[in-house]
Amino acid sequence: MSHVAPELSRMYESLETLTYYEILALPVDCDYVAIRDAFYRSAQRYHPDRFAGWSEESARSIVNTVYKRIAEAYNVLSDPMLRHAYDDARARGECRLSDTLRTRRLTQDERQISNTFARLYMRSAIDKLARGEVIAAWIDAKLGISLEDARPFRILLDRIERSWS
């Protein structure tokens, strides 16, 4: 693992100045699949299990701190609403999304959906609708309802389709 070590300490030292995109080595306009892939790539390289043989406390703390930030970057960027909030924060020159903003509550709609992925589609659809991307929102809602026939999807689809006619 020694070849990873210099990279790891470089990352550790500049952690507070790196954006989530930089941490995962992603372009800012990337899609969900790219985020997921980047996270898997980083996890393989920097997961604390990779360094289980390191017994020194200070070295372990570096590994844990870096990986925690990688997971944070993934958790924020993979949630469309959080990613949106993060992009706003980044425009203000911030590198991280504040810890209270990261801990967002599920919306009333999301609470009525039990399937994790359907919930993700719900978030994405609402977010796209708010930005005026009506067709993209409609597609997400359709994908979501195919996973779980939940009421919030029906209401959302109805709203979108009515706006067309």
Partner 1 sequence: MPSMVGEQEPVLGIDLGTSNSACAVVRDGRASVVRRGDDRIVPSVVAAMPEGGWLVGTRAKRRRLVDPKNVVYSSKRMIGRRFGSLEVQQMRQRVPYSIFEGSNESVMLEVGGRTVSVVEISSHILTYLKQMAEEALGQRLRKTVIAVPANFTDSQRSATRIAARLAGLDVIRVINEPTAAALAYGYIEDIDRRIAVYDFGGGTFDVTILQITRNVFEVLATSGETFLGGDDIDEVLTEMMARRVTEQCGWSPHGDPIAMERLRAFAEQVKIQISETTVGTAEIPEVIPGRKSPLHFQITEAELRPLIDPIIRRTIPVCQDALSGAGLSAHQIDEIVLVGGTTRLPIVREVVTEIFGKPPQTSINPLSVVAVGAAIQGAALMGSLAPSVEGGSTGGAAAVLLDVVPRSLGVRTVGGYVDFLIRRNHAIPTEHTRLFTTTSDRQRFVRIQVCQGEAETFDDNHKLGEVVLTDLRPALRGEVTIAVTFEINTDGLLEVRALDQDTMQQQIATMHVLGGMSEEDLQRAAERFGQGDVGAVTFQP
Q: Which stretch binds partner 1 (CB under 8 A): 84-92, 111-119, 130-138, 152-160?
A: 111-119
Which residue is associated with the tokens 């360094």? 51
Give the residue ranges of DSSP H helices in 47-165. Answer: 57-77, 80-91, 99-102, 108-111, 116-130, 134-147, 151-164
Exactly one of 40, 94, 134, 155 binds partner 1 (CB under 8 A); that residue is 40
d(CA 45, CA 29): 24
Rg of the chain over CA atoms, in angstroms?
19
Q: Is 130 in the site for partner 1 (CB under 8 A)?
A: no
Exactly one of 19, 75, 107, 112 binds partner 1 (CB under 8 A); that residue is 75
Q: List the end-to-end C-alpha distance of the chain, in Å, as a whole number.
A: 60
Exactly one of 9, 64, 94, 158 binds partner 1 (CB under 8 A); that residue is 64
Binding positions for partner 1, rule: CB under 8 A = 1-4, 39-41, 43-45, 47-50, 52-53, 64, 67-68, 71-72, 74-75, 99-100, 102-103, 105-106, 111, 114-118, 147-148
